[in-house]
Amino acid sequence: MLSRRRLLETSTLALIAAGLSPVSPALAQGVFDAGELLKPGVLPEMSMGKADAPVTVIEYASMTCGHCAHFHETVFPHLKEKYIDAGKVRFIYREFPLDALAAAASMLSRCAPGDRYFEMTGLFYAKQKDWIRADDPVEGLFSIAKQSGFTRETFKTCLTDQKLLDGITANRTRGSEAFKIDGTPTFFVNGKKIVGISTVAEMDEALAPLLKG
Q: Which residue has the higher pLDDT, 212 or 168?
A: 168
Q: Looking at the DSSP assignment, which residues form a beta bridge with residue 93?
A: 46, 59
Task: List the domain boundaries for the chain.
Answer: 4-198
pLDDT digits (tens, 9 = 90+) for 114-172: 889 999 999 999 999 999 999 999 999 999 999 889 999 999 999 999 999 999 999 99
Indicate the helix (H) or strand (E) that contains 181. Answer: none
Q: Hey, which CATH number is domain 4-198, 3.40.30.10, 2.40.160.20, 3.50.50.60, 3.90.1150.10?
A: 3.40.30.10
Residues 6 or more apart whose Cβ sits within 8 Å of residue 90? 47, 48, 49, 50, 51, 52, 53, 55, 56, 57, 84
Collapsed DSSP state (helix, strand, coil) of residue 103: helix
**C-alpha distances out from residue 12 to 17, 163, 169, Å:** 10, 11, 9
Global pTM? Answer: 0.86
**Given a cut of 80, is residue 18 above it in pLDDT?**
no
The sign of the torsion formed by the CA atoms of 50, 107, 94, 118 equals positive
Confidence of residue 196 (pLDDT cuts 50, 70, 90): confident
pLDDT digits (tens, 9 = 90+) for 21-54: 344 445 556 788 888 999 999 999 999 999 999 9
pLDDT digits (tens, 9 = 90+) for 170-192: 999 999 999 999 999 999 999 99
Q: What count of other Cβ atoms lies within 10 Å of the Cβ of residue 190? A: 17
